[in-house]
């Protein structure tokens, strides 16, 4: 598969603070990537470096096959970072005209892209009269103008109301369905879970995980159990080879598996040992729990 962006050992320091620490990952064509991490984990800094607005401290990155300069490569990229930045005194249409000039493309796509984000009727209104949701949609239209090889979105739903969030996500899904590579940075797990196929998890500038979203949940899941004779159950779980650890909380015993084990087989075992349980649920960690585990444990 074609490589779109390759990051090697990228490090960025702001004085004493290391915002990005020895980060490496690769973006391949056709996938939808998420960069996931709490606020201040270095997501925006990483994107800023690749987008030519933040200077790296060390390491390197290359766009496409590395044969063109960053700013030339960026003409084939569509990106919005944090807040929509446009000239407030100019209309949406004129702002997009300016972007066309910078990217060196003609104006023919402007109306089409405004249509995609539902702003065609308001195209002659000044940018400063727009609501935040509209500004964000205009930013997406602007990023799409050149039919980019990759669309980079940094916290695209930040600060929007539920309706706005819904609209933006619908647009992103629509774009993803057309085969555009997307890189989405977010601290919102459900956003990444709903949209992305691959994920890079960051914490304090370090990579904790990188790979497919479904493989990130690598564990075999866990059982939630309730039993009248808790002591006996706990004793049994303690010496069970498939069970990694148990946690007792709020009257529920949670047993984490380190090997595949079905709920019915487990129930059968317990009955054979004379342990009768009143509650048995088998669950897999949600991305959220997985994420918290990843970011807490290390």
Partner 1 sequence: MLRLLNIEFIKLWNNKASKVLILAYFILLSLIAGIAAIKFNFGVFDFHLAEQGIFNFPFIWHFNTYVAAELKFFLAIVIVSMVANEYSNKTIKQNLIDGLSKKEFIISKFVTVAVFAFISTLFIFILSLILGLIYSSYNETSIIFSDLEYLFAFFVKLLGFFSFCLFVGMLIKRSAFALGFLFIWYMFEGIVRLGLFLMESTKEYADAITQFLPLKSMSNLIEQPLARLGAAKEIASMAGEDLSYDYAVHWYEIAIVLGWTAIFIFFSYRLLLKRDL
Indicate whether 66 belongs to the interface with partner 1 (CB under 8 A).
Answer: no
Indicate whether 107 belongs to the interface with partner 1 (CB under 8 A).
Answer: no
Q: Taking CB under 8 A as the criterion, which residues in 110-169 touch partner 1?
A: 142
Of 105 and 292, which has the nearer Cβ to partner 1? 105
Indicate whether 109 belongs to the interface with partner 1 (CB under 8 A).
Answer: no
Binds partner 1 by CB under 8 A, chosen from 20, 79, 119, 200: 79
Of 30 and 88, which has the nearer Cβ to partner 1? 88
Indicate whether 68 belongs to the interface with partner 1 (CB under 8 A).
Answer: no
d(CA 70, CA 50): 8
In the complex, minimum distance from the CB of residue 239 to partner 1, in angstroms, rounded to a whole number: 56
Q: Taking CB under 8 A as the criterion, which residues in 6-65 touch partner 1?
A: 14, 48, 51-55
Q: Total number of residues binding partner 1 (CB under 8 A)?
A: 32
In the complex, minimum distance from the CB of residue 96 to partner 1, in angstroms, rounded to a whole number: 11
In the complex, minimum distance from the CB of residue 215 to partner 1, in angstroms, rounded to a whole number: 32
In the complex, minimum distance from the CB of residue 31 to partner 1, in angstroms, rounded to a whole number: 22
Query: Interface with partner 1 by CB under 8 A: which residues?
Result: 14, 48, 51-55, 69, 71-72, 74-75, 77, 79-81, 83, 85-90, 94, 97-99, 101-104, 142
């Amino acid at each position: 598969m074609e490589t779109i962006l390759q990051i090697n050992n990228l490090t960025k320091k702001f004085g004493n603070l290391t915002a990005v620490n020895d980060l490496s990952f690769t973006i391949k064509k056709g996938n939808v990537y998420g960069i996931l991490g709490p606020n201040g984990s270095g997501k925006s800094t990483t994107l800023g470096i690749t987008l030519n607005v933040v200077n790296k401290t060390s390491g390197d990155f290359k766009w496409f096959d590395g044969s063109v300069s960053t700013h030339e490569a960026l003409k084939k990229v569509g990106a919005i970072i944090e807040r929509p930045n446009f000239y407030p005194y100019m209309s949406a249409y004129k702002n997009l005209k300016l972007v066309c000039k910078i990217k060196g493309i003609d104006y023919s796509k402007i109306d089409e892209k405004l249509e995609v984000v539902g702003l065609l009727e308001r195209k002659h209104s000044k940018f400063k009269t727009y609501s935040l949701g509209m500004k964000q949609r205009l930013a997406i239209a602007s990023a799409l103008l050149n039919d980019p090889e990759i669309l980079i979105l940094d916290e695209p739903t930040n600060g929007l109301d539920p309706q706005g969030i819904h609209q933006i996500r619908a647009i992103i899904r629509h774009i993803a369905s057309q085969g555009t590579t997307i890189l989405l940075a977010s601290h919102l797990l459900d956003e990444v879970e709903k949209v992305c196929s691959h994920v890079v998890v960051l914490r304090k500038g370090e990579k904790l995980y990188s790979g497919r979203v479904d493989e990130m949940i690598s564990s075999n899941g866990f059982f939630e159990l309730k039993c009248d004779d808790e002591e006996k159950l706990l004793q049994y779980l303690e010496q069970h080879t498939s069970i990694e650890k148990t946690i007792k909380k709020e009257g529920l015993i949670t047993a984490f598996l380190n090997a595949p084990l079905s709920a019915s087989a487990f129930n059968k075992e317990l009955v054979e040992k004379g342990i009768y349980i009143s509650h048995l649920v088998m669950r897999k960690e949600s991305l959220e729990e997985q994420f918290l585990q990843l970011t807490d444990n290390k």
